[in-house]
Structure 1
């Protein structure tokens, strides 16, 4: 156990240092060639370089790869799919790719990971494996995109990824989660911590699609491993705010017959800043909510009964609903956005 703790700690620390160092190195290039100019969907007011995801993903894969070197548990397919989807994201950052080709390329990356999952492990034993795998590809594709959609505010992705990956590390070291997946989670957590100082409000750099898409893929894979370890409720609870905000927003836009594939500012966290909440207030509230969800997820693993797990999931949904409702209202004393 002590060696496992040292392994994940070293992976996290190495990823944080490499991530921060690489961002400093590539920043002048991104400032010159990869500026994100403000548009009606943006939360920033001045052109800001994007592409820090290059450093975050490189640091994550390098730290996790070194930590797992020589191990039979090295998730090679995951690493390859992550690089592939990062390249797709980078291309989309430079020159937008049409919706259908972009989704097909993302589906190829997600599909490779799903197909590489053990055939003898199933989430829903009473349905054919091929149906479950197809549903997992669709769910993975949605998760990758919703992480991208939710990456629209300074520190937002950090406030989501750091608590979730920290919870996965603890679960892995407690024997409730794959040790190799815990190392990947630790590396991703560290890389995001290394990125955080550069993205603090007002951000000096953004992740870009080259970061948000592969982060969604890595995080989705980790959550899939947790679900396959017979903890599906915990795997739902951990990312529940992102799932709820993005999914409810999508359904609302579809019901209004809006072109839901077009960039917009109708996510609840975006509405919160439009309503007068500061960026710091919004991401702080999301961070605290994620801490609550991690506690509920841990409790669900120890629950021992379906009824108690369902109650904990309902409690998590209620907490998310309260935050979403709060974001939808103007504060009594409006504070200016940071």
Structure 2
């Protein structure tokens, strides 16, 4: 999953803002074009686990993924990560099929594992995240981590603007780190394009949303972000790679473990994530996504600091500080919002 040894030179930083702007415009234009068709053929109908109350079209992820790949591919040309682009299209097609007619759990996981595995096992042998771990064990762990990350982004895409509040800060931070030379050029361009594409999607998904990403969006977005974070870890910035998505990792993982301990069918859709419980506890959708967005800005600042830390002890302390911030938000979400705070 390594994007190559080249890093972004200072003289090459100028395309980043135009990349984001072009992806935002293209994403918004495609959404406007396809929304009438999705309204007819891809409606998400509300159920007991939904956060929406009226049938809403889903599938805007088509526009987000298309804009990301078209813009990034145009800028990178022969330096584009072909493996990532191919795996993204494959998993987007799987997500689209699932949006139209649900795919059984086991085949869905197998196909997702093929997409993630194609990236992990095609990585150069010298690409290592934890060199102390035997090579094949590390590759196996990366496969499991990638598969989990793809699914947790899908699990957490259950509230208007939630994925925007997560993905925009992460991809913006990654693009900025790339400008500073901490990431390979392909990763920098891809993250800038995805950030822009999500910004183009945001006006359509603001509460109350007129369209959703759908699995066609959440799954490939999870793949792209997971791949990008792996590139960061491969540049010896593991603490930063953990800090950036820490809220999603914590909410999804703790929720999964709690459901497993209760012997609940954890593979079935539900409303027990912390961000979902927050809306049941008196938080408005805007309050939830605003707190997640601010938390992600804090985590991005901690991640950037960890890269310049210069010592393992300081990096560990920054991860612990990020964990404490995430825990604080999750505890807040899990408790009823007081009437005084709601005023």
Q: Do the two structures share a fold, i.e. TM-score over 0.5?
A: yes
Q: What root-mean-square deviation, in Å, do the aligned CA atoms of Structure 1 and Structure 2 show?
A: 1.1
2:312 to 284, 290, 306: 306
Please tell me whether residue 322 in structure 1 is matched to residue 325 in structure 2.
Answer: no
* Partner secondary structure for residue 241 of structure 2: helix
Please tell me whether residue 175 in structure 1 is matched to residue 175 in structure 2.
Answer: no
CA 1:67–1:119: 2 relative to 1, 3 Å: same
Distance, in Å, in 2 between the alignment partners of 1:128 and 1:280 is 45
| 1:242-292: CA deviation from partner (whole Å, max 9, x where unpaired) | 000000000000000101011100000000001110000000000000000
CA contact (8 A) 1:12 1:188 kept: yes
1:87 to 84, 89, 93: 93
CA contact (8 A) 2:10 2:180 kept: no
Q: Which residue is equivalent to 2:338?
A: 332
| 1:177-204: CA deviation from partner (whole Å, max 9, x where unpaired) | 1121010000000000000000000000
Please tell me whether residue 43 in structure 1 is matched to residue 51 in structure 2.
Answer: yes
Distance, in Å, in 1 between the alignment partners of 2:160 and 2:191 is 21
* Partner secondary structure for residue 15 of structure 2: helix
1:184 to 187, 190, 207: 190
CA 1:239–1:46: 2 relative to 1, 3 Å: same
CA drift of 1:220 comes to 0.2
Please tell me whether residue 287 in structure 1 is matched to residue 293 in structure 2.
Answer: yes
Q: Where in structure 2 are there 5+ consecutive unaligned residues?
A: 1-8
Q: Which residue is equivalent to 2:123?
A: 117
Q: Number of matched residues?
A: 334
Please tell me whether residue 271 in structure 1 is matched to residue 274 in structure 2.
Answer: no
Larger deviation, residues 180-189 vs 126-135: 126-135
Q: Which residue is equivalent to 1:227?
A: 233
Matches within 5 A, 1:51-66: 51-66=59-74
Q: Which residue is equivalent to 1:26?
A: 34
Distance, in Å, in 1 between the alignment partners of 2:301 and 2:187 is 20
Q: Which residue is equivalent to 2:12?
A: 4
CA contact (8 A) 1:277 1:334 kept: no
* Partner secondary structure for residue 339 of structure 2: coil
Q: Which residue is equivalent to 2:4?
A: none
2:22 to 14, 21, 26: 14
| 1:142-167: CA deviation from partner (whole Å, max 9, x where unpaired) | 00000000000000000000000010
The TM-score, its normalising length taken from structure 2, stands at 0.96
Matches within 5 A, 1:201-212: 201-212=207-218
Distance, in Å, in 1 between the alignment partners of 2:61 and 2:297 is 24
Q: Where in structure 1 are there 5+ consecutive unaligned residues?
A: none
Distance, in Å, in 1 between the alignment partners of 2:10 and 2:197 is 23
Q: Which residue is equivalent to 1:144?
A: 150
CA contact (8 A) 1:276 1:334 kept: no
- Would you identify which runs of 4 or more consecutive aligned residues in structure 1 move more than 4 Å? none
Distance, in Å, in 1 between the alignment partners of 2:27 and 2:50 is 25
Distance, in Å, in 2 between the alignment partners of 1:327 and 1:18 is 35
Distance, in Å, in 2 between the alignment partners of 1:163 and 1:64 is 18
CA contact (8 A) 1:86 1:211 kept: yes
